[in-house]
Structure 1
Amino acid sequence: MNAANVPSDEGRENRDLPVSLYPELDEALLTRFVDALESGDTIGLAPLRAEEAAEARRLVRFGRVTVPGADGAGLDGALWKHPPGEPRPLIVMPSPWTDFGWWIYAVQATLFALEGYNVLAYTARGFGRSEGEVEVAGPADIEDGCQALGYLIEQSGGTFTKAGFLGDSYGSGISQLVAAHDPRVSAVVAMSTWGDLGEAFYENSTRHTAAVQGLFDAAKNARLSERTQEIFDDVLAGRNIPQTLEWARERSPYTYVDRLNSRSVPVYFAHAWHETLFPSNQTLKVFNALSGPKRVILSIGDHSGPESPGTIGLPNRIWEGAHRWFAHHLKGLDNGVDTEGQVAGHLMWKGPLTEAGTWDTFTGRPEPLYLTAAAEGTDDGALADKPETGWSLTFRTGTDTPATVADKIIQSGFAEMAGRPKVYRTGDISRADAGVWVSAAMTTGATVRGVPRLRLTYTASTAQATFVAYLFDVDDAGQANIITHAPFTDPGAGAGRPLIADIPLQATGYTVPAGHRLMLVLDTKDPFYSDANEPGTTISVSSPADDPSHLEIPLA
């Protein structure tokens, strides 16, 4: 590993950085903040950050530490510890997938310390200064978290009231897994997290190659274990899928949800609607399976974007919610968290924050829109309120049309957060290379909340088939924003055989303005995914009378 690629006392401005999963993160500010905690020199910090650093130096002892991890690995960390006295609540914060490690939590860990917690943040094994190898939340990472909690208890004088784990991204998965394995953990905060890693890597049997490549690139300075390297290579190459899914099962919080339920561990989730690393459905799978206290906040953006302003201390409802969650579940504060709804969704774009008691009550009423044949004089079918059968629409495979998930993994989400979503020109989508169906104009607008489902009959001209379904909001000029999407692969389709595909699109919260239309696009290639199509083949969509092809929209 290149020693120049970890935090240093001299700062990090001139490093040759790897690809970052956190492009908007102000690492220079966090570095200055840590320096202020250590030296008291607050030059270059905003007044509020300077005040927080000074107050922390007055109330707690801050220090860099080496946390003893599994197999004797030393984990780089930092400790915020109050003077000895009455037992206190504890918070452990495993780092995200970055060499910057625990430094990413410097401001928020300080804010928790100022609220009375003893806090330990540490860099996950294999990253930054931490020893060991990257195991992707494997048994060693779980043991690291358990030992980190034991270390914090020891540093707190051997006593504590309750303990919580908080993580963003990589640290969030580790936090859930540690809570499932260690009964000392009383509450969890999991931001931009995963629930079923196998589903995240293989959605509808389609490999998320861009996501895995992004993780791989972001870890180029980390020390990957031989097995981790093999897994990433296998996913990218499309081989050894059963073995990879078994590897992923061991690393999935969903596998251990019964353990969390047996202790009613409270879990707070924060996720983005257009998450490109860990799509929302597999996280909601865990959320819906939990029977204890739970809450999920769904926001505009992509991986770690919605919570990023709060990481450096700016006002942020996700981090504010995390503080309230721990205040109630670790300190017993009666702050209303237990009476609020389980779901909060900020609808795109710049829509209202909608609260609901449960996911079921948040989700809209399913309404079918039936796929029809192309109208005379056009290549586009319709999305109609009544079924039409006996037609067929055929398109070629192998061409990437302008219908894509996003321009760039993660980074496109920051433009969405700023109110500048990607604009698609639907007229540029080749109808020879895609199937297109368009609804009538919305007379009063429509709010889509939940998981749309696409059920259709298709026939591939080859033994394997991949297509990607996109749902767009289109204005009267033919310009569109993406609402949601999902890939689909059938590795054993069988040439010339009609088959039924029942595809859940990713969960969404979106208001379609009056006068706009819904557009469903099916094409066969997207840079975010692998595809199983052979060159020169076709896919035909049809609608048999006994099972009409339709798109089910959850309308609120």
Structure 2
Amino acid sequence: MTPAPRTPETPGTPGTPRTPAAPRTPAPFSLHPELDPTALGAFVTALESGDVTRLAPARAAEVAALRSVAVFTRGKVSGADGDLLDAGLWRRTGTQPRPVIVMPSPWTSLGWLAYAVQATLFAARGYDVLAYTARGFTGSEGQVEVAGPLDVADGSRALDHLLERTTGPVTKIGFLGASYGSGISQLVAAHDTRVDAVVALSSWGDLGEALYENSTRHVAAVRALLAAAAKARLSPQTQSVFDNVLADRDVRGTLRWAEARSPFTHIKELNRRQVPVFYAHAWHETLFPPNQTLRMFNELTGPKRLTLSVGDHSGPETPGMLGLPDRIWTDAHRWFDHHLRGIDDGMADEGQVLGEVMWSRTLEPRPTWPSLTEHVHRLYLAGGGELAEQPEAGWTATVLCGVDTPATVADTVVTSGYAELAGRPKVYPTGEIDRTVAAVWAAAPTPETLRLRGTPKLRVTYRAANPGSGFVAYLFDTAPDGAAHLVTHAPYTDLGSPPDSLVSADLELQATAYDVPRGHRLLLVIDARDPFYADANLPRATLAFTSPEPTPSYLDLPLG
């Protein structure tokens, strides 16, 4: 049985292991809360039997279309070490040439069932498809290795299984995954030269950076992964790594573990073969923050596409997994049609980046990621709480540690993004932020719409009385009545500076495409505690922010 995730650690002396609190039983949690296993199960049963009486008309039509050209079967794939993996197989009838797609499952007890509708749509369009459940989940044997070598070997074994059962010649091969399956798909493509194209939805590029963003432990993400895998069988190493992140142990060991599981580590192989990769990501992603995936995307030299949307992990692509119209899945089909079937569908002539603007949801294509930002406007942190046009030295803004504020990343991992998708982003009461536990700087009201496009950057200097310190920086769009929406944020932790020294923090906030309305203000808030991240500060310690004359504190705004 998988041990329960842990509650936040009790504070200890920075630089030494901390004592984790007593374990608790995790509440039921899903990274894909809108997926209905009963409905998906009924759909798969209809694929087998042809009886569509329990399905909605649209789903019934999909079943009929599939059964007229292909055969669906459930079965097992012989994975690495002889472990059997649960799978669904869609095989086109006839002997005509066809491309094939392998789909490793997301991090969910649904396993491959999550792909049932989309795999059916791909098969009806001319592909043979194998969707399988990653090892350690649901009906698959083995233990969860988090995209380790056995998972990569499983992907190749699944491809072998599909190729052996395809009745016609195979032209090209694609791997597609959402969430967990997206990381596995990229890694298989890097190691297996047979793979011709990849679709990676809500993915990661650098797993170490996702777990330790700016040296800050992402404890909420780890707890969410543990809760979502409560019925899975984690390997002892996987459980140990997750426990170590929560308990602040063996950071170097965890980063070594994560390095092998990061597609970014193997990017040379993807580039050597110019493997086309399609990414879909959310601006407010709380599991795999977008900057680490952006770094991967920008280093790819082959054909590539990135679509960034309002919402959180897996939310933007979930409608398509339910069989509803979804532009992300539409583009995933177009990506494979172009790169696996050779169809001229205009994909090659479109820009590399498609960004959905908050909160208008306008879609903006751009030729490259750098082209989003036309120029950078620098605002300086001033002593009167202003974001000013000129630097100002000699001021101090002191923050008391150990106290949370209304400035937080989100209410919950993943599910807060569904409110954003529904047009109800969280409203932050900025007037309730206690200025003794947070430092706040406000810009002048914008005379016209301010188009933030790209990656904001923050430089700030502070003095910490103790070794080990950190903060979280938030950028808000604030209306005249004080109600605010979160634009972006980033954590920062310093573990190496001696006590009572000045720390110069340079960090990138997460990338954004945000329109600040006319008359609104940008508000920069820095506090020392957020439930999403581990707290490196001692309770009741203070952080004294300042702006030395030689190296002033500033915020760089990317404008488009």
TM-score range, shorter chain: over 0.9
Query: Partner letter of residue 214 of structure 1?
Result: A
| Cα shift readout 1:15-65 (whole Å, capped 9, x = no counterpart) | x99411111223222111111101112123221110110121221110001
**Cα pair 1:364 1:450 within 8 Å, conserved:** no
Query: Partner letter of residue 512 of structure 2?
Result: T
Structure 1 residue 242 and structure 2 residue 246: aligned?
A: no
The CA RMSD measured in Å over matched residues stands at 1.2
Q: Give the corresponding residue for 1:152.
A: 162
Structure 1 residue 406 and structure 2 residue 410: aligned?
A: yes
1:41-56 correspondence to structure 2 within 5 Å: 41-56=51-66
Q: Give the corresponding residue for 2:128.
A: 118
Structure 1 residue 444 and structure 2 residue 448: aligned?
A: yes
Structure 1 residue 230 and structure 2 residue 240: aligned?
A: yes
Query: Partner letter of residue 531 of structure 1?
Result: D
Q: Give the corresponding residue for 1:221.
A: 231
Query: Partner letter of residue 484 of structure 2?
Result: A
1:97-496 correspondence to structure 2 within 5 Å: 97-157=107-167, 159-374=169-384, 381-496=385-500
Aligned residue pairs total: 537
- Cα distance between partner residues in 2 of 1:82 and 1:134: 32
5+ residue gaps in structure 2? 3-25
- Please identify, of 490-499 and 191-200, the stretch whose mean Cα deviation from structure 2 is larger: 490-499
- TM-score under structure 1 length normalisation: 0.95
**Cα pair 2:95 2:169 within 8 Å, conserved:** no
Q: Give the corresponding residue for 1:96.
A: 106
Query: Partner letter of residue 290 of structure 1?
Result: L
| Cα shift readout 1:333-389 (whole Å, capped 9, x = no counterpart) | 011111100000001112310110000102342111100002xxxxxx100111111
- Cα distance between partner residues in 2 of 1:305 and 1:109: 19
- Cα distance between partner residues in 1 of 2:168 and 2:321: 30
Please state how far the C-alpha of 1:184 moved relative to its aligned partner. 0.4
Q: Give the corresponding residue for 1:61.
A: 71
Query: Partner letter of residue 57 of structure 2?
Result: P
- Cα distance between partner residues in 2 of 1:515 and 1:44: 53
Runs of 4+ in structure 1 deviating by more than 4 angstroms, as ranges, are none
Query: Partner letter of residue 352 of structure 2?
Result: Q
5+ residue gaps in structure 1? 3-15, 375-380
| Cα shift readout 1:408-461 (whole Å, capped 9, x = no counterpart) | 111110000111000000011110000000000001020111110000111111
1:521-532 correspondence to structure 2 within 5 Å: 521-532=525-536
- Cα distance between partner residues in 2 of 1:211 and 1:229: 14
- Cα distance between partner residues in 2 of 1:40 and 1:179: 35
- TM-score under structure 2 length normalisation: 0.95
- Cα distance between partner residues in 2 of 1:510 and 1:303: 18
| Cα shift readout 1:381-409 (whole Å, capped 9, x = no counterpart) | 10011111121111111100010000111
**Cα pair 1:364 1:448 within 8 Å, conserved:** no
**Cα pair 1:355 1:362 within 8 Å, conserved:** no
- Cα distance between partner residues in 2 of 1:436 and 1:364: 27
- Cα distance between partner residues in 1 of 2:38 and 2:79: 28
- Cα distance between partner residues in 2 of 1:192 and 1:40: 33
Please state how far the C-alpha of 1:92 moved relative to its aligned partner. 0.3
- Cα distance between partner residues in 2 of 1:446 and 1:74: 54
Please state how far the C-alpha of 1:87 moved relative to its aligned partner. 2.4
**Cα pair 1:84 1:156 within 8 Å, conserved:** no
**Cα pair 1:351 1:511 within 8 Å, conserved:** no
- Cα distance between partner residues in 1 of 2:455 and 2:117: 36
- Cα distance between partner residues in 2 of 1:153 and 1:549: 58
**Cα pair 2:92 2:167 within 8 Å, conserved:** no
Percent of aligned pairs with the same amino acid = 58
- Cα distance between partner residues in 1 of 2:28 and 2:151: 22
Q: Give the corresponding residue for 1:30.
A: 40
- Cα distance between partner residues in 2 of 1:17 and 1:429: 30
- Cα distance between partner residues in 1 of 2:116 and 2:306: 24
1:508-519 correspondence to structure 2 within 5 Å: 508-519=512-523
Specify the SS of the correspondent of 1:217. helix
